[in-house]
Amino acid sequence: MDFAFVVTSLLKIVGILVVILTMVSYAVYAERRVSAFIQDRLGPNRVGPAGLFQPIADMFKLLLKEDFTPRSANTFYYWLAPCLAVMPAIITIAVVPFGSTLFGVPMVIADVNVGILFVFAIASLGVYGIVIGGWASNSKYPFLGGIRSSAQMLSYELSLGLAVIPVFLLVGNLRLTSVVRYQIEHGWFIAPFVGDWTNPWKWLLAIPMIISFLVFMIAIFAETNRLPFDLPEAEQELAGGYNIEYSSMKFALYFLGEYAAMITGSAVIVTLFLGGWHFPGIPDGSHGWIFGLINIAVFFAKVAALIFIFMWVRWTLPRFRYDQLMRLGWLFFFEIALVNIFLVAAILPYTSRL
Amino acid sequence: MSPFLFWVFALMTLIFGAAVVVNRNPVASALSLVVSFLGLAALFMSLDAFFVGIIQVLVYAGAVMVLFLFIIMLLNLQAEERRRINWLAAAGGIGVAVILLVQICFVIGDFQAAQQTFPPLAGSTDDVWNIGALLFRNYNLPFQIVGVLVLVATVGVVLLSKREPR
């Protein structure tokens, strides 16, 4: 392990952490502005130009509020749970390639050969934060929220896992950098315009890929507890769900965890289906550091666009009922994802022939 | 990986493994088991067995233990915390563990290969590919039989848990 590797890795870790945390705080701001726009209101626009300093003000407000621990709560786990909610969401980004190369250094923190499995493994640990928070509060609504959350996340992990199998049938490798490289050579999975795009089989293959993309995206909605699947925190039924008993910075950590999960979820979707940092016509970082920076910018622009879609959906669709959510997950998405795998496997032998 | 990290993760696995038994609170026991699994996964990864390590996290820490926790929380087992410790049973358990440890030490002492260090594997190996090739080429029939076995177990559970129509 040489010195340059350690230094560049540390720089990448610090850099991505700063970017993600900034994105989280501005995602909260953007959420409020987007919701206001959709509901024909103004939203926060007082602090700084167009309300751009609102996240800083929010942070100070949350830090200065009284930190209250209920007497009946199990104190150790009550304190542990918000940390467990944030960590997995941020760790996931370690295997996602967020750029090509910059000064010859690959822009991915850890390019492990089990990339997508790492994402799923860490995401499946995210449920502990919510479940333990609900249990340690020792109160009935948070507890119900926690139970709901664990059932929901376990159910949707199945469709999540099955939906990505078509992608890896094509790529033949679990590395996320290989997925991006494949898409540079053969075109994005849901829009194969690059390469031999006149090949009709490739367009036929794009149909199951779009199904995969939709199933994966909807499962990510359920995994991150976003509307229309935010049953663990359904205000009308559970008065706020697993985080009722939390106040000040611990509440903010739950908030941060939810948005960080949304950002890393979008980053994974971008990598798997939307070409990662690739944009047609822009060369990679080996042609000069300016292109390396542009690649990173393209990646985060795509992530931001997906986050906007997340918000758009949240303020457009009503919430599902709990039994509907479960039926949808087990009887619809699971089957669709399963049939989709066979569809791709049936088309795949013909694609190389033409 | 440096020996320092090996000791950190080995100690983590062992200490939290002991905590599973020592803790009186079932939820704390379950969470200790999760941490123990994470330490074990890190040990697998230190041997470059990324696939086995990550499956350890994905299946055991991520899915099985969440279900365990789910059941424990639903049942709300508080009787366990109030029960008094049976010292005789505890001594018996420790005795069995010590005997097992001594046996393992003897077996490893007699095993020649355990006393020499292996050279690192030449080149990089894609362990996901290797495991897949082994499962679907060399051991295809046993793999299919295990699949049928799991299917039978699933059908059996559904049959048992289904209520009789009245």
Q: What share of chain B is helix, strand, coil (3-state, %, to 5)?
A: 80, 0, 20
Q: In a 10 Å sphere around its CB, with 0-12 CB exposed, 13-18 middle and 19+ buried, how is residue A279 labelled?
A: middle
Structure tokens at A163: 């939906």
Q: What one-letter code names the amino acid at A111?
A: D
Tens of pLDDT along A242-267?
777 787 788 888 888 888 888 988 99
> Which stretch of DSSP H or E encloses residue A101?
strand A101-102
CA distance A210 to A196: 19
Choose the closest CB to B27 out of A113, A114, A135: A135
ipTM surpasses 0.85: no
Nearest to A154 among B27, B63, B74 (CB): B63
**A chain contacts of residue B50, beta-carbon cutoff 8 Å:** 112-114
Share of chain A above pLDDT 90, in %: 0
Q: What is the mean pLDDT of residues B124-133?
A: 77
Q: What is the mean pLDDT of residues A137-157?
A: 82
Contact flag A121-B54 (C-beta cutoff 8 Å): yes
Residue-level pLDDT at B141: 92
**Which pLDDT score, from 0 to 100, does residue A110 have?**
80
Name every chain B residue with its beta carbon within 8 A of the beta carbon of A127: 62, 66
User: Taking residues A62-84, what's their average pLDDT?
Assistant: 83
Buried b (16+ CB within 10 A) or exposed e, B98-124: eeeeeeeeeeeeeeeeeeeeeeeeeee
A21: which residues sit within 8 A by CB, 6+ positions away? Answer: A256
Contact at CB, A150 and B54, closer than 8 angstroms: no
| For residue B82, pLDDT beyond 80 | no
From first CA to last CA, the distance across chain A in angstroms is 45
Residue A354, pLDDT score: 44
For residue B145, the model assigns a pLDDT of: 94
Confidence at A352, pLDDT banded by 50, 70, 90: low
Q: pLDDT category, A230, cuts 50, 70, 90?
A: confident
- pLDDT of B15 > 90? The answer is yes
Q: Can you give the C-alpha Rg of chain B in angstroms?
A: 21
Mutate to test the interface with B, among A124, A148, A175 (most CBs of B within 10 A): A124
Cα–Cα distance for residue pair B51/B49, rounded to 1 Å = 6
Shortest CB distance from A121 goes to which of B58, B66, B128?
B58
| pLDDT tens column, B56-81 | 888 888 888 888 888 887 776 666 66
β-partners of residue B162 are none
Quote the CA–CA distance of B11 and A344 in Å, as a whole number.
46
Percent of chain B exceeding pLDDT 70 equals 87
Contact yes or no for B66 and A132 at CB 8 A: no
β-strand partners of A102: A105
pLDDT at B165: 67
Which of chain A's residues have a Cβ under 8 Å away from the Cβ of B44? none
Put simply, the chain A residues between 80 and 119 with a CB less than 8 A from any chain B CB are 112-114, 117-118
One-letter amino acid of B91 = A
Interchain contact, A146 vs B128, CB within 8 Å:
no
Please give the C-alpha separations between residue B9 and each of A36, A80, B3, B62, B160, in angstroms, as whole numbers.
Answer: 49, 21, 10, 19, 41
Band the pLDDT of B99: cuts 50, 70, 90.
very high
pLDDT over threshold 90, residue A94? no
Best mutation target, B66, B70, B154, to test chain A (most A CBs within 10 A): B66
Burial of A26 (0-12, 13-18, 19+ CB in 10 A): middle
Q: Looking at residue B36, what is its pLDDT?
A: 92
Residue B124 confidence (pLDDT) above 80: no
pTM score, whole prediction? 0.84
Cβ–Cβ below 8 Å for B63 and A135: no
| Structural domain boundaries in chain A | 3-351
Contacts of B101 by beta carbon, 8 Å cutoff, 6+ apart: none
Confidence bin at A82 (pLDDT 50/70/90): confident
Q: Is B17 on the interface with A (CB under 8 A)?
A: no
pLDDT digits (tens, 9 = 90+) for A270-320: 888 888 788 777 777 777 778 888 888 888 899 999 999 988 888 888 888
